[in-house]
Amino acid sequence: MNFFSILWEQNEINEITLQPECFPDLNLDQVIQAITARKQEYNLKPLYYTPPNDLLTIRYRQEIARDLNNEVLIDALKAFAEQMVRVRRYLALSEKLDHHYHQAGWFLEAALVYGKALVDLGEGISAISLCSKGLLAFREILQRYLHSQAFETFFAEAKKVKEALQRVRYCIILQNGTVRVRRYEGEVDYSVEVEKTFAKFKQGAVKDYHSDLSRRSGMNHVEAQILDFVARLYPEEFAALDRFYRHQQNFVDETIARFDREIQFYLAYLDFVAEIQRKGLNFCVPEVVTDKNISACQTFDLALAHTLRFEKQEIVPNDFYLRDSERVIIITGPNQGGKTTFARMFGQLHYLAKLGLPVPGREARLFLCDQIFTHFERQEDLRNLSGKLQDDLERIRHILDHATSNSILVLNEVFSSTTFEDAVFLSKEIMRKISHLDACCVWVTFLDELSTFNEKTVSMVSTVKPDNAVERTYKIIRQPADGLAYAFSLAEKHRLTYRQIVDRIQP
């Protein structure tokens, strides 16, 4: 079969197994952890660590993601995935077993599930209207495979062998330490007789005394000995099994196996998204562009939305845009007002868009960046207490050394532990460099001064309720930084405005 990947049309990049540096700051580590938690066996993380760099691949993936907005298709793919899990489990089991017919038995089970998985998938997706190049190509490949001589013979043989084995019935007679095995000869079910005798006493529901004798698959030497005898009683059935086992080793097709893993890149993400959508939040396939007129509407922090997905607490979506020469969003306003969340969200959006996946929001136009750099305040490191400022500056230096005009920068409370004057001075210096770099940037700061730095800066502010300054709205809106507005409302609450004080202090 030809080379085929549902992730790469061409320009395939080798999988990166190391988490991108920006992940912890953007809480993308939590997001990817949540997405992959129930899918450990696919080793999906590297797929999320390896974003493509070209629009072609991003669009290849976006088309597939759009096609997957179809429950029938999703169901068919999920059913396929579940069956493939069983195939792998049975094959692994088979390899570990000692007894030959036991081993061959589980091998046969794996073959049966595999055959059925493919036939089901072929039927399940045959009538679905697809638009994406990727899924159309896969369907084509699958149909060809299903109608190949090799597959048809394989599956028919597996079913025949199994049917014969299913007809086998035998009797075991246990008496002290002796086990006798022979064919079943029509003896009646004794418990039915006992039930019949006592049926007249039935008084409604009673306890179920069936013992739970289920246990892991496996055989002890007594059962193995019995199976040998059964094979002697039914030699033809077991000879057929032997032939199948010898001739059909390695029946799992490589392209199918690859598809089985790679399609999980989409399915796992969409599962994760679906839980959040139930809260009434929107996702969209973003327009990914190479100019810097970017915008997003009704977007939100994916990690936060995931954490609160079962809570009553509302997620407040936010909007932003940059146009013309605007590059840097300066966010100021009261603490706990959603500033950091907004900054994370900005980084997340660009990373997810680059992966070719749908992003939080009603609509979005996002920049195809080369890298995302973050600088979030770190926990004080005791080993290096005096050097915190230096450490901060070194990290920023590192960022500025590596960032290009196509990078995205997310800075959060950079110099909060220095003096005010120092912070203003250092921040302005950094700002000058970023401005020169012409990179897109979100910067959360307590310094109002930065918001009017030059024509590239845009001021956004976290807001409070007009009538109650203590209550946050979690809305971040485009408006001039005005520390006073907040201070004023607090003063009013404490009856310390001019009018209030004049009124309270009688002449």
Partner 1 sequence: MRVFLLYPDRDFNLKGELPPQTEALVKDLELDIVLDTMAQGDSFLRTVSRQALMSSLEDPQVIRYRQMILQDCLNNPDTVRELYQIPVQALITKQKQWLGIFSLYPSSILSSAVELLEMFVGLLRKMRRIVDEHGEHFHSAGFQRFFNMIRQELDEAYFVEIESHLKELRFRDGVLISAELGMGNEGQNYVLRKPKRAKGNWKERVFSKRSPVYSFSIPPRDDHGAKAIGELRDRGINSVANAVAQSADHIDSFLNVLRVELGFYVACLNLAERLAEIGQPICFPDPYPATTRVHTFRGLYDVCLALTVNHPVVGNELNGDGKDLVMITGANQGGKSTFLRSIGVAQLMMQCGMFVGAESFAANCCNGLFTHYKREEDATMKSGKFDEELGRMSEIVNWLKPNALVLFNESFAATNEHEGSEIARQIVKALIDRRIKVFFVTHMYELAHRFYEPGLTNALFLRAERQEDGQRTFKLREGKPLPTSFGQDVFQKVFQQR
Residues that bind partner 1 (CB under 8 A): 90, 93-94, 101-102, 104-106, 108-109, 165-166, 168-195, 197-198, 200-204, 206-211, 213, 217, 219-223, 225-227, 229-230, 232-233
Q: How far apart are CA 127 and CA 117, in angstroms?
A: 17
Shortest Cβ 154–partner 1 spacing (Å): 19
Pairing of strands 178-183, 283-284: unpaired
Smallest distance from the beta carbon of 236 to partner 1, in angstroms?
A: 14
Classify 312 as helix, strand or coil. Answer: coil
**Helix (H, G, I), strand (E, B), or coil: what is residue 403?**
coil
How far apart CA 208 and CA 19 sit, in angstroms, is: 52
Q: How far is the C-alpha of 90 from the C-alpha of 87, rounded, in Å?
A: 5
| CA angle (45 as vertex; 42, 49 as ends), nearest 5 | 145
Residue 163 or 380: the one with the smaller Cβ distance to partner 1 is 163
CB of 348 to partner 1, least distance (A): 45
> Quick one: which of 72, 79, 158, 69 has its CA closest to 118?
79
CB of 230 to partner 1, least distance (A): 7
Q: Of 167 and 312, which CB lies nearer to partner 1 in the complex structure?
A: 167
Q: Judged by CB, which is closer to partner 1: 101, or 300?
A: 101
Residue among 458, 461, 460, 462 at smallest CA distance from 435? 458
Q: Which of 364, 362, 366, 316 is nearest to 339 (CA)?
A: 316
Of 198 and 310, CB closest to partner 1: 198
**How many Cα neighbours within 13 Å face the side chain of 319?**
8
In the complex, minimum distance from the CB of residue 240 to partner 1, in angstroms, rounded to a whole number: 13
Indicate the residue among 221 and 383 with the shorter CB distance to partner 1. 221
Nearest residue (CB) to partner 1, 245 versus 474: 245
Quote the CA–CA distance of 368 and 287 in Å, as a whole number: 10
Nearest to 113 by CA among 142, 155, 176: 155
Quick one: 242 exposed, middle or buried, by C-beta within 10 A (0-12, 13-18, 19+)? middle
Nearest residue (CB) to partner 1, 191 versus 506: 191
Work out the angle at residue 170's Cα, subtended by the Cα atoms of residues 168 and 173, and round it to the nearest 5 degrees: 170
Q: How far is the CB of 81 from partner 1 (least distance, A)?
A: 20
- To partner 1, the closest distance from the beta carbon of 155 in angstroms equals 18
In the complex, least distance from residue 112 CB atom to partner 1, rounded to whole angstroms = 9
Q: In this structure, are residues 101 and 244 in contact, taking their beta carbons and an 8 Å threshold?
A: no
CA–CA separation, 349 vs 353, rounded Å? Answer: 6
Least separation, in Å, of the C-beta of 77 and partner 1?
Answer: 25
| CB 298, CB 319: distance < 8 Å | yes
Q: Which is nearer to partner 1, 169 or 278 (CB)?
A: 169
Nearer Cβ to partner 1 (165/316):
165
What DSSP line would sit under 404-461, residue for residue?
-TT-EEEEESTTTTS-HHHHHHHHHHHHHHHHHHT-EEEEE-S-GGGGGSSTTEEEEE
In the bound state with partner 1, the residue whose beta carbon lies nearer, of 54 and 82, is 82
From the CB of 182, what's the least distance to partner 1, in Å? 4
Angle in degrees, CA 74, 28, 268, rounded to 5: 15
